[in-house]
Amino acid sequence: MNNTGVIYGINGPVVYLKGNTGFKMHEMVYVGPEKLVGEVINLTKDTTTVQVYEETSGLRPGETAQATGDAISVTLGPGILTNIFDGIERPLNEIAARSGKYITRGVSVDALNTEKKWSTHITVKPGDTIFGGAIIAEVQETPAILHKSMVPPNVSGVVKSVAEDGDYTITDTIVTLTGKDGQDIPLKLAQKWPIRMPRPTAEREPGNRPLVTGQRILDTMFPIAKGGTAAIPGGFGTGKTMTQHQIAKWSDADIIIYIGCGERGNEMTQVLEEFSELVDPKTGNPLMDRTALIANTSNMPVAAREASIYTGVTLAEYYRDMGYDVAIMADSTSRWAEALRELSGRLEEMPAEEGFPAYLASRLAVFYERAGLMKNLNGTEGSVSMIGAVSPQGGDFSEPVTQNTKRFVRCFWGLDKSLAYARHFPAIHWLTSYSEYIGDLASWYNENVDEHFVEYRSRILAILNQESSLMEIVKLIGSDVLPDDQKLTLEIARVIRLGFLQQNAFHAEDTCVPLKKQFLMMDIILYLQERAKELVVKGMPMSVLKESNIFDRIVSIKYDVANNELEKFKEYRQAIDEFYQQVLEKNG
């Protein structure tokens, strides 16, 4: 029999129980007659504090709260993909089927469908000694993804009996183990895991290959490794969500977990609709087949918002354990931090900077450290990459969430308001952003794309940096007074900004660009710079060079050269040579 407690105080999502209830920290509790889901967050001899994941309106002092004995956990098994859950893994489709257009309280639904039969192939046989993490069965979860059911990490033993291959639900016993003490351990397709505890792995490996996203400014300029962490900070309207959507759509991860944490309801609807229609270029299946969504919109209960990112990362770790590369989009971690602040305020804790609790930094660290490229317990290799949006107040990056996030991520994609105002998208600013992975990934790029890749990248960045210092002068005295070689630098920088950095998410070809084309685009821009520089050295003024439309032709390469006709770049090289000759002939 589990412990029960009696409510004596209610303050928004925080509920106080009287006396020493015997509840455990982070234990899941059912509060009141409607069985609202809650979690124990504080214990004293006199009081137990519970945060409730649902609206508490209507609760009365004197009503009881019942402990469940388990920490707040999620069910892991086939059926996660293509689904949309709330912050504590309740399927929103099921809730809609039961209670209509609104999310009502106290809906008790199973996280995963317990009636659906999955065609299962058992991969162990009696007599096998297996350890935590070992794969015991395979299920084709979606056309794209083979789901591998595993022994829970803390369980091991000798296989006593196995079921035959066939159709099973997630609650059927498929394998029985004999444990160390001789007891029977039934294993099922699904298992449970507490959300606040990282799933164990064998060892962490250094990231050595990029998460290819098809976005030029990310892949070429500021790449993230598989198993890496990145933050996208930006004021409202600068394109955080758009960037996350683009990565979720086009990145070469096997699985995407998209966490809508305290954001807009319509955005989740959009992801649902778009991802069901869009086709994954690699597999030809709908993108939704590799995606699971966690939606805790801004008007849903605040405590569940706090839990949602842990729920998301636990799902991601589970698929990583199968040997997949998983990418998490967390939009937005600031809403999560604000949920912490809100709950902390209700608990009357001493506030630190800007009212955020002092443990903000350590919580962020724990979250981001769950990313990584891992050697799993079963010997496979998988990764969890994390991309967290940050919504700094007033777009000011000096606020606590951005600053603390910066300490724990290795990729920083800073979105810039003035770029967004000029509708330069993605509005990731090349001067404020950085990636610490470039060193780790250099050899991968040089081997897999081109040996000049990293060198070209540096040259492009150098031109952009030169432009920025030249612009200081231009702002004061105008560009007409600059010498021609500096004018050329400005012109080439313009070509880079418009033709390379700007990428049109709504253009069929430009929305996702293969690395090879990204490289060739850099190559052609740098070639143009070289030849134009020769002309300038020979004394040709920029005004003459600009009479040709070659600069604008290079800018529109992104639209004019399709992703599968890269041989066209040769024509552009010729065009540049012709341009060189023409200028010389005319003015030489």
Partner 1 sequence: MAIEYLGLSQIQGPLVILEGVENAFFDEIVEITVAGNEKKMGRIIEIYEDKAVIQVFESTESMSLKNTSSRLTGHPMEIPLSSDILGRTFNGIGQPIDHLGPIHAEVSRDINGLPLNPVTREYPRNYIRTGISAIDGLTTLIRGQKLPIFSGNGLPHDRLAAQIVKQASLGEDSDEKFAIVFAAMGVKYDVAEYFRNTFEESGVSDHVVMYLNLANDPVVERLITPKAALTAAEYLAFEKNMHILVVLTDMTSFAEAMREVSSSKGEIPSRKGYPGYLYSELATVYERAGLVRGVNGSVTQIPILTMPNDDITHPIPDLTGYITEGQIVLDRTMHGQGIYPPINVLPSLSRLMKDGIGEGYTREDHQAVANQLFSCYAAVGDARALASVIGEDELSALDKQYLKFGQAFEERFVGQGEEENRTILETLDLGWELLRMIPRQELDRIDTKLLDQYYDRK
Contact 306, 336 (CB under 8 A): yes
Binding mask 506-525 for partner 1 (x = CB under 8 A): x-------------------
The residue range among 50-58, 124-132, 194-202, 483-491 that interacts with partner 1, by the rule CB under 8 A, is: 50-58
The residue range among 141-149, 200-208, 215-223, 231-239 that interacts with partner 1, by the rule CB under 8 A, is: 231-239
> With respect to partner 1, which residue has the nearer C-beta, 97 or 158?
97
Tokens of 263: 């954001």
> With respect to partner 1, which residue has the nearer C-beta, 264 or 452?
264
Tokens of 546: 């600009």
CB of 72 to partner 1, least distance (A): 20
> With respect to partner 1, which residue has the nearer C-beta, 498 or 544?
498
Of the candidates 432, 461, 526, 453, the one whose C-alpha atom is nearest the C-alpha of residue 488 is: 526
> With respect to partner 1, which residue has the nearer C-beta, 174 or 364?
364
Q: How many residues bind to partner 1 according to rule CB under 8 A?
A: 82
> With respect to partner 1, which residue has the nearer C-beta, 296 or 380?
296
Q: Is 308 in the site for partner 1 (CB under 8 A)?
A: no
CB of 95 to partner 1, least distance (A): 6
Q: Is 236 in the site for partner 1 (CB under 8 A)?
A: yes
In the three-class reduction of DSSP (H, G, I as helix; E, B as strand; rest coil), residue 11 is classed as strand
- Out of 88, 112, 139, 302, which residue is the one contacting partner 1 (CB under 8 A)? 302
Applying the rule CB under 8 A, the residues between 454 and 493 that interact with partner 1 are: 474-480
CB of 467 to partner 1, least distance (A): 14
CB of 566 to partner 1, least distance (A): 20
In the three-class reduction of DSSP (H, G, I as helix; E, B as strand; rest coil), residue 246 is classed as helix
Judged on CB neighbours under 10 Å (0-12, 13-18, 19+), 543 is exposed
Residue 286 bridge partners (DSSP): 279
Contact 100, 341 (CB under 8 A): no
CB of 446 to partner 1, least distance (A): 32
* d(C-alpha 113, C-alpha 99), whole Å: 17
- Out of 95, 197, 461, 482, which residue is the one contacting partner 1 (CB under 8 A)? 95
* d(C-alpha 581, C-alpha 530), whole Å: 14
- Out of 2, 33, 70, 104, which residue is the one contacting partner 1 (CB under 8 A)? 104
Applying the rule CB under 8 A, the residues between 333 and 392 that interact with partner 1 are: 335, 338, 341-342, 344-346, 348-349, 351, 354-356, 391
- Cα torsion angle, 476, 478, 482, 488, sign: positive
* Element containing residue 14 per DSSP (H, E): strand 14-18
> With respect to partner 1, which residue has the nearer C-beta, 94 or 252?
94
Of the CA atoms within 13 Å of residue 432, those in its CB half-sphere come to 17
* d(C-alpha 378, C-alpha 137), whole Å: 13
CB of 418 to partner 1, least distance (A): 8
CB of 361 to partner 1, least distance (A): 17
Contact 105, 34 (CB under 8 A): yes
Applying the rule CB under 8 A, the residues between 61 and 80 that interact with partner 1 are: 61-62
* d(C-alpha 11, C-alpha 51), whole Å: 10
Q: Is 103 in the site for partner 1 (CB under 8 A)?
A: yes
Residue 476's contacts (CB-CB under 8 Å, 6 or more residues apart) are: none
Contact 135, 378 (CB under 8 A): yes
Q: Is 272 in the site for partner 1 (CB under 8 A)?
A: yes
DSSP class per residue in 406-447: HHH-SEE--B-HHHHHTT-SS-B-TTT-EETTHHHHHHHHHH
Applying the rule CB under 8 A, the residues between 8 and 27 that interact with partner 1 are: 8-12, 16
Applying the rule CB under 8 A, the residues between 145 and 204 that interact with partner 1 are: none
Of the candidates 529, 522, 380, 375, the one whose C-alpha atom is nearest the C-alpha of residue 449 is: 522
CB of 62 to partner 1, least distance (A): 7
CB of 104 to partner 1, least distance (A): 6
* d(C-alpha 384, C-alpha 259), whole Å: 14
Q: Is 100 in the site for partner 1 (CB under 8 A)?
A: yes
Q: From the CB of residue 247, how many other CB atoms can be counted at a distance below 10 Å?
A: 24
Amino acid present at 406: K
Q: Is 57 in the site for partner 1 (CB under 8 A)?
A: yes
* d(C-alpha 550, C-alpha 406), whole Å: 41
Q: Is 393 in the site for partner 1 (CB under 8 A)?
A: yes
Binding mask 528-567 for partner 1 (x = CB under 8 A): ---------------------x--x--xx--x--------
Helical axes 453-477 vs 484-495, angle rounded to 10°: 120
Q: Is 297 in the site for partner 1 (CB under 8 A)?
A: yes
CB of 498 to partner 1, least distance (A): 5
Q: Is 262 in the site for partner 1 (CB under 8 A)?
A: yes
CB of 113 to partner 1, least distance (A): 15
